[in-house]
Structures are given as structure tokens and as C-alpha cells.
Amino acid sequence: MNKNDLVSAVSDSAGISKADATKAVDSVFDNITSSLQGGNEVRLVGFGTFSVSHRKATTGRNPRTGETIQIKASMQPKFKAGKALKEAVN
């Protein structure tokens, strides 16, 4: 399922127009993103938790040349599925 499929599914299940469903889906994504940018986690009970983890700087290798390169530290988004989601999938 891609974003357009999700918008169509939300539109059908909620009985709203595709334009309104697009606004709703975009708003959810934007709010999750801005919360993570602020260093907060987003906990959706029964679905899962979005969080940010810090990845340390490391040394790596360029696979093409074998040259050693320095990989910068970065912040990585993470998602941990909740119990209800895990049970629904299994």
C-alpha cells in the first residue's frame, strides 16, 4: 500500500472526500515528523511508538574503492509496533 492507496482507504472508510482524506493523512504525517524533530516520541496506544535514536559516528569503507571513510553521527527515526498491532498481524 502506498500513500495514494492509504488516502483512498481513509476516504472510503470515513465517508469523506479524497481531498479531505489527503489533508488528514498529510496532517498526521506532518505532526509525527515535527514531534520527532523536537526530540519527542509519538506513542499511539495499540498501534506503536515512533521515536528518535542517536547513531554514533563510525568508520566505514567505500565498497567500490575500499577507501576508509568517516560516517557522521545522525539521528534515526524508529518505530516499535505495539502489542495489538503485532497480534493483528499474527
Q: Which three cell numbers stand for residue 39?
A: 526530540
Please report the pLDDT score of residue 18 as a whole number: 95
In angstroms, rounded to a whole number, what is the distance separating the alpha carbons of residues 26 and 31? 9
- Computed over every residue of the chain, the mean pLDDT equals 95
pTM assigned to the model: 0.79
| Predicted confidence (pLDDT) per residue in 7-18, tens digit | 999 999 999 999
Phi-psi map region of 86: left, alpha, beta (phi>0 left; psi -120 to 50 alpha): alpha
SS3 42: strand
| Predicted confidence (pLDDT) per residue in 31-69, tens digit | 999 999 999 999 999 999 999 999 999 999 999 999 999
Please report the pLDDT score of residue 19 as a whole number: 96
Nearest to 85 by CA among 41, 59, 53, 47: 47
Rg (CA), the chain: 18
CATH placement of domain 41-90: 4.10.520.10
